[in-house]
């Protein structure tokens, strides 16, 4: 199995490799994407180019794409209804970009398409890093805060809690990211419980739901 990663930073990608291996339950070969992205909307903008490159030039089976939600809406169960698309939900938008791109691609390299595995870190990937260590940090807490206008924590606070600084070096960020996700020791149930929408969608895609077979929007 060959998996590629597209996210907001090399530190995110290092942590996502660990989490993807936990979800898949087996090691895989990592394929380097042709382009890198930095933040939103850069990930959405480079996604078509990355997908086309992986499809025609590599033997990649699945592409993992994860972005932070920041202040955008959280992807919820109602977004999963057939044909539903939330124009401001980044997960809905990435899935739509994926669908628009792959539906025009002829089969290549012995497979029909590169499968997708899309996740949304609410409100930032540091929340996932704190999972199991800081029980106040959950998707539900963040969504309650969005509904009431009183955020339970800020993205900057999450950054401080993970790195002890708001400006970690890339090397330190990468080390801390891998350290924190490795606490789960192959078992992602806590992450799926505390982040059922954004992490749950990623895990379901990795386990075989991400075939991109939904009707195109
Ligand atoms: Zn959505």
Distance 88 CA to ligand 1 centre (A): 8
Q: What is the pLDDT of residue 186?
A: 95
Q: What is the pLDDT of residue 213?
A: 43
Distance 175 CA to ligand 1 centre (A): 30
Q: What is the pLDDT of residue 35?
A: 85
Q: What is the DSSP letter of 165?
A: S
Residues 136/161, Cβ–Cβ less than 8 Å: no
Distance 10 CA to ligand 1 centre (A): 25
Distance 91 CA to ligand 1 centre (A): 5
Nearest to 61 by CA among 104, 18, 115: 115
Q: What counts of helices (H) and strands (E) characterise the chain?
A: 9, 4
Distance 190 CA to ligand 1 centre (A): 22
Structure tokens at 71: 């202040």
Q: What is the pLDDT of residue 4?
A: 97
Nearest to 139 by CA among 79, 71, 197: 197
Q: What is the pLDDT of residue 201?
A: 97
Dihedrals phi, psi of 42, to nearest 5 degrees: -55, -40
Distance 153 CA to ligand 1 centre (A): 22
- Say how far apart CA 147 and CA 111 lie, in whole Å: 44
Distance 110 CA to ligand 1 centre (A): 31
Average pLDDT over residues 10-36: 94
Distance 109 CA to ligand 1 centre (A): 31
Distance 201 CA to ligand 1 centre (A): 10
User: Ion ligand 1 — residues with CB under 5 Å?
Assistant: 75, 79, 86, 89, 91-92
Q: What is the pLDDT of residue 211?
A: 52
pLDDT tens-digit map of 140-170: 999 999 999 999 999 999 999 999 999 999 9
Element (H, E) at 68: strand 62-68
Distance 168 CA to ligand 1 centre (A): 30
Q: What is the pLDDT of residue 216?
A: 38
Query: In this model, does residue 55 exceed pLDDT 70?
Result: yes
pLDDT band at 180 (very low <50, low <70, confident <90, very high): very high
Distance 25 CA to ligand 1 centre (A): 27
pLDDT tens-digit map of 74-108: 999 999 999 899 999 999 999 999 999 999 899 99
Distance 197 CA to ligand 1 centre (A): 9
Look at strands 2-6 and 29-31 and give their pairing.
parallel
- Residues contacting 206, CB < 8 A, separation 6+: 20, 23, 24, 62, 64, 117
| Minimum mean pLDDT range among 25-34, 151-160, 189-198, 199-208 | 25-34
- Say how far apart CA 32 and CA 28 lie, in whole Å: 13
Distance 87 CA to ligand 1 centre (A): 8
Query: In this model, does residue 217 exceed pLDDT 70?
Result: no
Q: What is the pLDDT of residue 183?
A: 97
- Say how far apart CA 189 and CA 83 lie, in whole Å: 29
pLDDT band at 38 (very low <50, low <70, confident <90, very high): confident
pLDDT band at 210 (very low <50, low <70, confident <90, very high): low
In order of 30, 36, 85, 208, the CA distances from 13 in angstroms are 11, 11, 26, 20
Residues 160/144, Cβ–Cβ less than 8 Å: no
Q: In what order do the strands lie in the sheet with 115-121?
A: 29-31, 2-6, 62-68, 115-121
- Say how far apart CA 146 and CA 64 lie, in whole Å: 27
- Say how far apart CA 62 and CA 47 lie, in whole Å: 13
* Average pLDDT across the chain, whole number: 94
């Amino acid at each position: 199995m060959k998996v590629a990663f597209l996210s907001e930073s090399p530190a995110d990608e290092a942590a996502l490799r660990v989490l993807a291996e936990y979800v898949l339950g087996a090691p895989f070969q990592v394929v380097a994407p042709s382009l890198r992205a930095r933040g939103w909307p850069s990930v959405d903008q480079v996604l078509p180019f990355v997908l086309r490159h992986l499809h025609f030039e590599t033997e990649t089976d699945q592409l993992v794409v994860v972005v932070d939600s920041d202040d955008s809406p959280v992807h919820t169960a109602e977004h999963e209804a057939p044909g539903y698309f939330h124009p401001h939900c980044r997960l809905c938008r990435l899935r739509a970009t994926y669908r628009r791109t792959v539906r025009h691609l002829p089969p290549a390299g012995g497979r029909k398409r590169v499968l997708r595995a899309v996740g949304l870190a609410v409100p930032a990937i540091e929340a996932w890093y704190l999972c199991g260590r800081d029980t106040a940090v959950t998707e539900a807490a963040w969504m309650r805060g969005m509904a009431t206008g009183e955020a339970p924590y800020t993205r900057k606070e999450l950054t401080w809690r993970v790195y002890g600084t708001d400006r970690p070096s890339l090397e330190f960020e990468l080390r801390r990211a891998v350290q924190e996700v490795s606490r789960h020791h192959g078992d992602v149930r806590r992450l799926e419980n505390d982040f059922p929408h954004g992490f749950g969608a990623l895990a379901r895609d990795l386990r075989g739901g991400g075939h991109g077979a939904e009707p195109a929007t």
